[in-house]
């Protein structure tokens, strides 16, 4: 089979790695960024407990890419009278890693054309199967009806001497419309950024932070992150040759805007069901079912329709999911923290 993989993010890289060794296939990758500018626009935080096994499948050791191992994440919930509104979340596997170096190593030796946005008609005439792994862009699939995304900006910075924080830090914006992040990399480097549904707080807060904590700005990037889950991101196919994998079909955990692990899982499911689109669709919807509930919760918060008493059952379900999956999220999950978060 002739397969085109469009987009070399985590999903595309995993697919290139997994499909290129099968001699029954001819696999070609496409990436819009030129090779020298190819980057992973992302804060590079993930959970090593899960990544370890996923990356082993690609013949690599995740450990070799870790930049910072988190111990504690301070989450500032903003002012609330005299109450201390800070949560300290114990971390058990949350790390930052060199995401772009890992993508390059996962795709080493595979056939990729960089610096090109291929035309759909050209792909359709040349390939039997086209995988849209273009993340937020979703250039090759019909637009979903009810999608939602959070605009984000991010700086890669370097501090000389003391850094503002020595571990993960978040500041939540009102009504869960987004948050500011400070994620340490290594040797004084950090990712500082913010996502805000209303675009009100992200620039202001990041600018103030950069003014207060002087640093060298290495790079500024911006792109939205899709938070509507797979259930709201159908169709996964154009009904002809193209199928979506990764963030293009909504595999991002909406509460955290965390898409590295879910998008890699999605690519794994795709490889498993490469010859059966219906089975792939079913498994994706099943695997990411809870994301639909979490998304509903975020939507209610953003639209001012959330009520802690009326919606207690939803909060409890989200808590149970995350508590049972502490190892997957790489953090300690406490009900009182989730209730605090749902009250901002």
Ligand X SMILES: Cc1cc2nc3c(=O)[nH]c(=O)nc-3n(C[C@H](O)[C@H](O)[C@H](O)COP(=O)(O)OP(=O)(O)OC[C@H]3O[C@@H](n4cnc5c(N)ncnc54)[C@H](O)[C@@H]3O)c2cc1C
Instruction: Decide whether 35 or 117 has the Cβ nearer to ligand X.
Output: 117
C-alpha closest to that of 33 among 47, 12, 59, 56 = 12
Tokens, residue 113? 């054309």
Other C-beta atoms closer than 10 Å to the C-beta of 324 total: 10
Q: Are 135 and 41 in contact (CB under 8 A)?
A: no
C-alpha closest to that of 321 among 256, 259, 266, 263 = 256
Residue 34 CB, shortest distance to ligand X, in Å, is: 10
Other C-beta atoms closer than 10 Å to the C-beta of 239 total: 8
Instruction: Decide whether 50 or 215 has the Cβ nearer to ligand X.
Output: 50
**Distances, alpha carbon 135 to alpha carbons 223, 233, 260, in Å:** 10, 12, 11
Strands 152-158 and 189-196, bridge-based pairing: antiparallel
Residue 229 CB, shortest distance to ligand X, in Å, is: 12
DSSP letter for each residue of 217-282 = EEEEEE--EE-S-GGGS--SB-SSSEEE-GGGGT-SBTTTTB-HHHHHHHHHHHHHTTT-HHHHHH
Residue 21 CB, shortest distance to ligand X, in Å, is: 20
Residue with tokens 């196919």, as numbered in its chain = 237
Residue 133 CB, shortest distance to ligand X, in Å, is: 5
Instruction: Decide whether 65 or 306 has the Cβ nearer to ligand X.
Output: 65
Task: Give the interface with ligand X as residue ranges (CB under 6 A).
Answer: 6-12, 30-33, 41-46, 117, 133-137, 139, 152, 154, 193, 223, 225, 246-248, 252, 257-260, 263
Instruction: Decide whether 141 or 260 has the Cβ nearer to ligand X.
Output: 260
Stated as kind and residue range, the H or E segment containing 129 is strand 129-132
Instruction: Decide whether 3 or 260 has the Cβ nearer to ligand X.
Output: 260
Residue 7 CB, shortest distance to ligand X, in Å, is: 3
Residue 246 CB, shortest distance to ligand X, in Å, is: 2
Other C-beta atoms closer than 10 Å to the C-beta of 298 total: 21
Instruction: Decide whether 44 or 295 has the Cβ nearer to ligand X.
Output: 44
Strands 178-184 and 149-150, bridge-based pairing: unpaired
Residue 13 CB, shortest distance to ligand X, in Å, is: 7
Residue 32 CB, shortest distance to ligand X, in Å, is: 4
Instruction: Decide whether 224 or 339 has the Cβ nearer to ligand X.
Output: 224
Instruction: Decide whether 152 or 322 has the Cβ nearer to ligand X.
Output: 152
Alpha-carbon distance of 253 to 287, in angstroms, equals 12
Residue 183 CB, shortest distance to ligand X, in Å, is: 6
Instruction: Decide whether 156 or 306 has the Cβ nearer to ligand X.
Output: 156
**Distances, alpha carbon 137 to alpha carbons 108, 140, 223, 265, in Å:** 24, 9, 10, 19
């Amino acid at each position: 089979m002739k397969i085109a993989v469009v987009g070399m993010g985590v999903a595309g890289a995993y697919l290139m790695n997994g499909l290129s060794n099968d001699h029954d296939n001819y696999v070609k990758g496409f990436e819009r960024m030129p090779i020298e500018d190819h980057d992973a626009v992302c804060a590079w935080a993930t959970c090593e407990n899960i990544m370890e096994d996923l990356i082993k499948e690609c013949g690599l050791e995740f450990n070799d890419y870790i930049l910072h191992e988190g111990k504690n994440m301070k989450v500032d919930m903003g002012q609330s009278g005299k109450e201390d509104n800070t949560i300290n979340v114990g971390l058990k596997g949350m790390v930052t890693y060199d995401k772009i170096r890992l993508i390059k190593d996962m795709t080493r030796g595979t056939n990729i054309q960089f610096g090109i946005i291929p035309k759909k008609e050209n792909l359709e005439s040349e390939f039997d199967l086209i995988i849209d792994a273009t993340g937020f862009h979703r250039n090759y699939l019909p637009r979903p009806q009810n999608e939602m995304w959070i605009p984000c900006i991010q700086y890669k910075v370097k501090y000389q001497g003391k850094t503002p924080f020595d571990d993960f830090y978040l500041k939540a914006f009102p009504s869960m419309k987004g948050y500011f992040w400070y994620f340490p990399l290594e040797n004084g480097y950090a990712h500082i950024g913010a996502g805000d549904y209303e675009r009100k707080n992200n620039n202001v807060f990041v600018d103030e932070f950069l003014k207060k904590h002087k640093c060298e700005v290495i790079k500024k990037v911006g792109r939205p992150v899709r938070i509507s889950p797979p259930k709201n991101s159908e169709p996964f196919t154009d009904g002809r040759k193209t199928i979506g994998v990764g963030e293009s079909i909504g595999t991002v955990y909406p509460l955290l805007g965390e898409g590295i692990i879910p998008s890699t899982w999605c690519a794994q499911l795709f490889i498993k069901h490469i010859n059966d689109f219906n089975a792939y669709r079913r498994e994706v919807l099943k695997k990411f079912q809870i994301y639909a509930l979490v998304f509903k919760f975020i939507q209610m918060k953003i639209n001012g329709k959330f009520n802690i008493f009326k919606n207690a059952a939803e909060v409890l379900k989200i808590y149970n999911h995350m508590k049972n999956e502490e190892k997957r999220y790489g953090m300690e999950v406490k009900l009182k923290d989730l209730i605090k978060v749902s009250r901002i």
